[in-house]
């Protein structure tokens, strides 16, 4: 999300006549886009500010202005300005349009602040300026804010309530990215699959929220608007050779029509992020996640029924308020039972303003949190190493991202399930069973036979160039299947 925000910020500033530089020594203004979800992220920003303040004092000619943008700006505005006197500008996530005015104020040695949250700001009409134009992938923000109010999470207080961009503006942005040669887009939102476009009157009736079985939420049932499945449908039709991913969702918002669409469309990746956070029902209740361990597992099994080859990823927090050793063991068993392809693992850090800060005590010692974090990581590594072995001998369609970090003789890319694949950089047939060969370049889709693996990557041999529709068609024919994902 910070990458997406940075691209929006740069678009606004570029339109106002500002120029970009990668050198701090050349810069007149340094803006830091921040995250406040976890304490570690904030600590890194404080360290960066200490460094920048030193650079600022060392300036003898033109002054250096420092600005903090995003979630940390909203949460710590008073500390940043009054106590630490660390910055010249503070702008919250809904205040980016105001940056030209705020920066003008700093020219008169005023401290400029705008951290007001909005009920409707989505930056729908701002065309982001991509930071890495050579990348084969891009992020597309479709909604902002979150209504879930999990007790540990600061996002609703720093990002505000949920609001979604109109579908038309999203389709237009993705069409532009397709025209520029982008081969993969990731739809972004704090609660991306609760997307709801109510921008037109004709969308305002019916279409009531349908949650997964056994799930509940703190807010009233929402009605009307085009839902996330409607958006996925339209987006997947833009370019059959462009992969579609999305993050970060909430497990409650996976209706059957969305799962069915993913199972049918070959360019919607069979990769779902299902953030569990904990494997224990009592901890989940204290977190106000709206589901039990049992209902979460029922959803996982339902997803596997509809999308058998799906790759699942998840988020987990250890050491949440009051978590006992027995409750933590339930998290380890959930990791082993579901067999995730990837996970994001964190030790709990309490955030001010959250319900947990008001209601609970952060009573799990830090050394126990770190030990549990290590045990979670070990459990996941064992599971994913075993899971990756199941790919041996199978053929995967890999989107080439570039050279391997370890050797220029190898290339790296990702398969449909978002697992990294490493393979030799050699000339291969231009298509299935062709005798003509060509070099492999970033942005190419390559059919790769998996020959080895570790807990982090798959290794293979490239077979031939392909496309999403052709790969799916060839795979079906080779396996003698009558039903495969559609290529429209």
Question: DSSP code of 222?
Answer: P
How is the chain split into domains, by residue range?
A: 2-114, 137-387, 395-479
Q: Encode pLDDT of 208-241 as tens digits.
A: 666 777 887 776 777 788 999 999 999 999 999 9
CA–CA separation, 194 and 253 (whole Å): 6
Q: What is the DSSP string of 370-429?
A: HHHHHHHHHHHHHHHHHHHHTTTT-EEEEEEEEE-SS-TTEEEEE-TT--EEEEE---EE
Q: Rg for the chain (alpha carbons), in Å? A: 24
User: Tokens 């920066």 identify what position?
Assistant: 103
- Which residues have CB under 8 Å from 72's CB, separation 6+? 34, 35, 36, 41, 42, 45, 158
Give 173-210 as a 3 state SS string.
Answer: HHHHHHHCCCCEEEEECCCHHHCEECCCHHHCCCCCCC
Question: DSSP code of 486?
Answer: B
**Residues of the chain scoring pLDDT < 70:** 83-84, 201-210, 219, 476-488
CA–CA separation, 17 and 8 (whole Å): 15
Q: Encode pLDDT of 176-193 as tens digits.
A: 999 999 999 999 999 999
pLDDT at site 487:
45
Alpha carbon dihedral 320, 325, 331, 335, in 10-degree steps, equals 130
At 328, list the tokens.
């933590």
User: What CATH number labels 395-479?
Assistant: 2.40.50.140
pLDDT at site 76:
77
**Are the C-beta atoms of 160 and 144 separated by less than 8 Å?**
yes
Q: What angle do CA 300, 174, 69 make, to 5 degrees?
A: 85
Bridge partners of residue 163, in order along the sequence: 144
pLDDT at site 479:
59
CA–CA separation, 40 and 64 (whole Å): 26
User: Tokens 């199978």 identify what position?
Assistant: 394
pLDDT at site 483:
47
Region of 443 (left: φ > 0; alpha: ψ -120 to 50; beta: rest) is left
CA–CA separation, 349 and 40 (whole Å): 8
CA–CA separation, 307 and 284 (whole Å): 26
Three-state DSSP state, 452: strand
pLDDT at site 83:
66
Q: What angle do CA 357, 67, 144 make, to 5 degrees?
A: 55
Bridge partners of residue 126, in order along the sequence: none
User: What CATH number labels 2-114?
Assistant: 3.40.50.12160
- Which H or E run contains 345? strand 342-347
Bridge partners of residue 311, in order along the sequence: 271
pLDDT at site 84:
67
Report the top-level CATH class of 137-387: alpha beta
**Are the C-beta atoms of 79 and 68 separated by less than 8 Å?**
no
CA–CA separation, 55 and 380 (whole Å): 42
Cis before 144? omega within 30: no
CA–CA separation, 395 and 382 (whole Å): 23
pLDDT at site 201:
56
Other CB atoms within a 10 A radius of the CB of residue 219 amount to 12
**Are the C-beta atoms of 398 and 421 separated by less than 8 Å?**
yes
At 181, list the tokens.
């040669």
Other CB atoms within a 10 A radius of the CB of residue 201 amount to 8
Other CB atoms within a 10 A radius of the CB of residue 442 amount to 16
Q: Encode pLDDT of 107-128 as tens digits.
A: 888 889 999 999 999 999 999 9
Model-level pTM? Answer: 0.91
């Amino acid at each position: 999300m910070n990458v997406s925000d940075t691209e929006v910020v740069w678009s606004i500033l570029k339109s106002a006549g500002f120029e970009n530089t990668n050198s701090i020594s050349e810069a007149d203004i340094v803006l830091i886009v921040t995250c406040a979800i976890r304490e570690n992220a904030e600590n890194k920003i404080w360290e960066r500010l200490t460094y920048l303040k030193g650079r600022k004092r060392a300036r003898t000619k033109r002054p250096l202005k420092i600005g903090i943008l995003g979630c940390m700006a909203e949460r710590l505005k008073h500390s940043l300005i009054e106590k630490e006197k660390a910055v010249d500008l503070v702008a919250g996530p809904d205040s980016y349009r105001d940056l030209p005015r705020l920066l003008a104020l700093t020219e008169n040695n005023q401290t400029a602040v705008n951290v007001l949250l909005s009920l409707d700001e989505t930056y729908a009409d701002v065309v982001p300026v991509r930071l890495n134009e050579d990348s084969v992938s891009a992020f597309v923000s479709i909604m902002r804010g979150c209504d879930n109010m999990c007790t540990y999470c600061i996002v609703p207080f720093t990002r505000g309530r949920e609001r979604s961009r109109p579908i038309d503006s999203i389709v237009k942005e993705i069409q532009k990215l397709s025209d520029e040669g982008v081969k993969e887009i990731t739809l972004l939102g704090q609660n991306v699959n609760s997307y709801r476009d109510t921008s037109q009157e004709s969308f305002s009736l019916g279409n009531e929220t349908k949650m997964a079985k056994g799930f509940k939420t703190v807010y009233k049932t929402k009605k009307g608007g085009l839902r996330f499945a409607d958006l996925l449908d339209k987006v997947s039709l833009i370019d059959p050779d462009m992969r579609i991913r999305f993050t970060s969702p909430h497990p409650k918002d996976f209706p059957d029509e969305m799962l069915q669409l993913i199972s049918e469309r070959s360019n919607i990746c069979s990769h779902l992020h299902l953030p569990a956070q904990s494997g224990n029902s009592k901890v989940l209740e204290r977190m106000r996640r709206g589901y039990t361990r049992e209902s979460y597992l029922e959803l996982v099994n339902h997803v596997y029924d509809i999308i058998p080859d799906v790759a699942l990823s998840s988020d987990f927090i250890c050491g949440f308020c009051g978590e006992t050793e027995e409750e933590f063991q339930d998290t380890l068993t959930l990791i082993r039972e579901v067999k995730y392809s990837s996970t994001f693992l964190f030790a709990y850090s309490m955030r001010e303003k959250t319900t947990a800060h008001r209601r609970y005590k952060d009573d799990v010692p830090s050394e126990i949190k770190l030990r549990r974090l290590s045990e979670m990581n070990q459990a996941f590594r064992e599971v994913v190493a075993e899971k990756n072995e199941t790919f041996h001998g199978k053929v995967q369609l890999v989107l080439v991202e570039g050279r391997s970090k370890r050797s220029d003789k190898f290339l790296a890319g990702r398969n449909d399930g978002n697992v990294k694949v490493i393979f030799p950089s050699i000339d291969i047939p231009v298509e299935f069973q062709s005798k003509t060969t060509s070099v492999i370049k970033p942005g190419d889709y390559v059919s790769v036979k998996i020959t080895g693996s570790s807990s982090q990557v798959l290794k293979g041999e490239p077979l031939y160039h392909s496309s999403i529709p052709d790969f799916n068609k060839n795979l079906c024919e080779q396996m003698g299947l009558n039903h495969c994902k559609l290529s429209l």
